[in-house]
Amino acid sequence: DVKVTQSSRYLVKRTGEKVFLECVQDMDHENMFWYRQDPGLGLRLIYFSYDVKMKEKGDIPEGYSVSREKKERFSLILESASTNQTSMYLCASRPGTSGLYEQYFGPGTRLTVT
Amino acid sequence: GQQVMQIPQYQHVQEGEDFTTYCNSSTTLSNIQWYKQRPGGHPVFLIQLVKSGEVKKQKRLTFQFGEAKKNSSLHITATQTTDVGTYFCAGPQGAQKLVFGQGTRLTINP
């Protein structure tokens, strides 16, 4: 079974802090994604990566950056956390680039910025 | 940009009643995927539809892809408490991205 893990289930940070969210997948998937989930807005793509050291902006990249130094690990960075970044963050991975592949999600990190 | 709209946003039913959620895209889709997210959980892939007019069944769940490949639906017959959760449709945007609908949250009165 594919396993996608995220470093924390719950996280509380202060405004202005630098925040790292880690995601690891164990199935050698090429593609990895970061989404945020907010009530009524569904899942919105922040960034994705289709290969090591490769990244592309999603629909809401402002205030975020990412890092993919190893194939299995994809990190989301909030350079200076703000209260409007309080949300559920979901990481996902996918075997290949085609939209025909299903995505496998991690358990999510609920981030609260105070 | 491409939009995927899903209705209704919420649906509350009595156990045993049927449930349907609808998904509409602003553009023609090459395929559509459906995911289920249980309360407190993460989205889990249910199924993918690729062909125009395709209908697929998984026990009490019936998935349809419209003839024009711009809409899709998920119908659950005789809901059970295990069906509780949020159902998302998702369509590809470009070669690599997936655009999700807003989701339909299903709650059930036992």
Which among B44, B90, B102 has CB closest to A41? B102
* Residues of B with Cβ-Cβ distance to A90 under 8 angstroms: 42-43
One-letter amino acid of A105: F
Quote the pLDDT of residue A96.
81
CB count in 10 Å sphere of residue B16: 12
Quote the pLDDT of residue B3.
86
Separation of alpha carbons A1 and B103, rounded Å: 26
Q: What is the pLDDT of residues B1-24, one digit of tens each?
A: 678 999 999 999 999 999 999 999
Token pair 């680039």 in the structure block, residue: A97
| pLDDT, chain B, mean | 95
Q: What is the pLDDT of residues A50-106, one digit of tens each?
A: 999 899 999 999 999 999 999 999 999 999 999 999 999 999 999 887 777 899 999
Q: Min CA distance, A114 vs chain B (Å)?
A: 22
Residue A58, chain B, CB below 8 Å: the answer is: yes
Quote the pLDDT of residue A4.
97
- Best CA proximity match to B1, nearest among A70, A34, A59: A59
% of chain A residues with pLDDT over 90 = 87
DSSP state of B83: G
Quote the pLDDT of residue B67.
96
Residue B9, chain A, CB below 8 Å: the answer is: yes
The whole-angstrom distance between residue B90's C-alpha and the CA centroid of its chain comes to: 8
Token pair 């349809």 in the structure block, residue: B64
| Mean pLDDT, rounded, for A29-37 | 95
